[in-house]
Amino acid sequence: MSGMIVIAGAGHAAGQAAASLRQKGYEGRIIMIGGEAWVPYQRPPLSKKFLVGELETKQLYFKPENFYPDKEIELRLSTRVETVDRATGSVTLDNGKTLEYDKLIMCIGGRVRKLVIPGNDLSGIHYLRTINDVLAIQKDFQAGAKLVIVGAGYVGLEVAAVAVQLGLDVTVLETEDRAMGRVIGPEVSKFFQQRHHEAGVRIEFGRMVQEFRGDSSITEVVCGDGYKVPADLCIVGIGLLPNTEIAEDAGLECDDGIMVDEYCQTSDPDILAAGDCTRHPSSLYGRQFRLECVQNAIEQGKTAAATICGERTPYNQAPWFWSDQYDIKLQIVGVSLGYDKLVIRGDMADNSFAAFYLRDSRLLAVDAINSPREFMLGKKLVTAKASFDIAELADEGKDFKELATAALNATS
């Protein structure tokens, strides 16, 4: 296998795609174009151990720096792909150069959604997506400082947990009526809200931030209902926008993500895409998803490489995700959207339980809180589209492993 592969982006999906191409014996040139100055790195620790200062930058790297020259993967960092010309099979870069490709893999991720409100240019207002973002935040991260976090999603709450433990005074402002509403059910939200409350984090629901005030630096955050919070610094975590513009300009099919099939193929046979920037079909759920998680970036990176190498291995896994807050590890498998029954097993007071989401008795998703066994079995069960008798599942007297084994046997 030879030819020229250009990978746009140098994040998780890109790093995996390049590594998998070499693993599968691809011998042609691979050039990876990354908008950031860093070799592909892992973002999850950015709001966890890296923010606290427990990890060095190098410990975030997806592969050691010498992996790329050793595998003859050419990195062009601090460089962006600006346009894709499908007619000539080439990309232009922001340094004016043009590169021809036989295959292009777009792994261009997403960018933080910004708050466009008065005062948004004051210093002390931060977003969190990159290593550079964290290095900037750390300068303002002092014990006693008043930190306002906008958004009670998982990034905001992970930062809240780190900050309050470092002695910052933390307020979280959220427009919705519960925490992490996009990823977990209401009962599990309540559990996390309680843990944050016990740790000293104030979470204010129904607060729509309308203005940042201050002279040159932020001093106050003002909400639409007049509620005001003093602030020495602010971190905004209100979601991600997929980077689809260059794909759209090139005429690729996009809809809140670059549309790909289960082989990571876009609407152009020579262009593939992987990771946060894509929307893909899931035959497991009979719908399309755009996912923002490491598992999806890794698996789609592998799938794109396999497709280029002539393998037809469809990507159709149950998505999974994790979040660390205090001593709580939340592991989620599947997507609970549309569930009609919720069963909780375990002890919330003990910080160890699992929430099972079912529809018509079929298990859609599991939120496992400090419950690795439920998470591991949950992966198999969700993938197998296993069904349960609700009363049995809810019966704590019944061993979960036995129930899971029986449910799996019934599907095979």
Ligand X SMILES: Cc1cc2nc3c(=O)[nH]c(=O)nc-3n(C[C@H](O)[C@H](O)[C@H](O)COP(=O)(O)OP(=O)(O)OC[C@H]3O[C@@H](n4cnc5c(N)ncnc54)[C@H](O)[C@@H]3O)c2cc1C
Residues contributing to the site for ligand X (CB under 6 A) = 8-14, 33-36, 43-44, 46-47, 80-81, 107-110, 128-129, 155, 243, 246, 275-276, 292-295, 297, 321-323
| 209 vs 246, beta carbon nearer ligand X | 246
Q: Closest separation between CB of residue 231 and ligand X, Å? A: 20
Using an 8 Å Cβ cutoff, are 71 and 23 in contact? no
| 53 vs 118, beta carbon nearer ligand X | 53
Q: Closest separation between CB of residue 227 and ligand X, Å? A: 26
Tell me the C-alpha distance between 35 and 108, whole Å. 9
Tell me the C-alpha distance between 40 and 28, whole Å. 20
Q: Closest separation between CB of residue 396 and ligand X, Å? A: 29
Neighbouring-strand partners of residue 209? 223
| 148 vs 404, beta carbon nearer ligand X | 148
Grouping H, G, I as helix, E, B as strand and the rest as coil, residue 67 is helix
Tell me the C-alpha distance between 292 and 284, whole Å. 18
| 299 vs 374, beta carbon nearer ligand X | 299
| 285 vs 321, beta carbon nearer ligand X | 321
| 119 vs 334, beta carbon nearer ligand X | 334
Alpha helix stretches (DSSP H) within 176-224:
186-199
Q: Closest separation between CB of residue 359 and ligand X, Å? A: 24
In the block, residue with structure tokens 């789609």: 300
| 185 vs 275, beta carbon nearer ligand X | 275
Using an 8 Å Cβ cutoff, are 336 and 365 in contact? yes
Name the phi and psi angles at 402, rounded to 5.
-65, -40
Q: Closest separation between CB of residue 25 and ligand X, Å? A: 23
Name the phi and psi angles at 63, rounded to 5.
-140, 155
| 109 vs 378, beta carbon nearer ligand X | 109
Q: Closest separation between CB of residue 51 and ligand X, Å? A: 8
**At a CB cut-off of 8 Å and minimum separation 6, what does 275 contact?**
9, 11, 12, 13, 14, 107, 109, 296, 297, 300, 301
Q: Closest separation between CB of residue 181 and ligand X, Å? A: 17
Q: Closest separation between CB of residue 58 and ligand X, Å? A: 17
Q: Closest separation between CB of residue 93 and ligand X, Å? A: 8
| 365 vs 386, beta carbon nearer ligand X | 365
Name the phi and psi angles at 197, rounded to 5.
-60, -45
Sequence letter at residue 269: P
| 29-33 sheet: strands from edge to edge | 73-76, 29-33, 4-8, 103-106, 271-273
Cβ count near 44 (within 10 Å): 19
Structure tokens at 111: 């960018």
Closest by CA to 375, choosing from 399, 401, 354, 352, is 354
Phi-psi region at 147: left, alpha or beta (left = phi > 0; alpha = psi -120 to 50): beta
